[in-house]
Amino acid sequence: PHVETVLDHGEMIAAVTLPPPPPGRQVYRKVRDRASYAFALVSVAAVVEKSGDRIQSARIAMGGVAAKPWRATEAERTLAGAAASDGAFTDAAEAALAGAVGYGGNDFKIPLAKRTMRHTLAAAAESA
């Protein structure tokens, strides 16, 4: 497969330093065909920070629904300041997938992604 890299011949990555995670509860969900190590049909990773019953901030990434994982910034904006509720999670999922188009065999991924995002956000907000 084609791999993009800036490494020269003979070089290798020896370490990766990641910044600390943002505050809040982190949840990842992966939906797949089989229970084995199958690729995700849809995956959602979310970090939700709350103050009382309001969402202070959210970071959401989706996988399995595009050529590469992508951040759902529209959903994040929709959630900022909203009450942590099923309605807010539904609005965020709708915002994230507004304009999404399937290609026949993968049309099912759009409603699946929305459901997965709602469940992931609810789990993250539950104990944030």
Domain boundaries, the chain: 25-126
28 vs 26: CA distance, rounded Å: 7
Read off the amino acid at residue 23: P
pLDDT per residue as tens digits for the range 13-68: 899 898 998 889 999 999 998 776 778 999 999 999 999 999 999 999 999 998 88
Q: Which CATH superfamily is domain 25-126 in?
A: CO dehydrogenase flavoprotein, C-terminal domain (3.30.390.50)
Joined together, the tokens standing for residue 24 give: 């809040």
Q: How confident is the model at residue 106 (pLDDT cuts 50, 70, 90)?
A: very high
The C-alpha atoms of residue 9 and residue 11 are separated, in whole angstroms, by 6
117 — pLDDT class (breaks 50, 70, 90)? very high
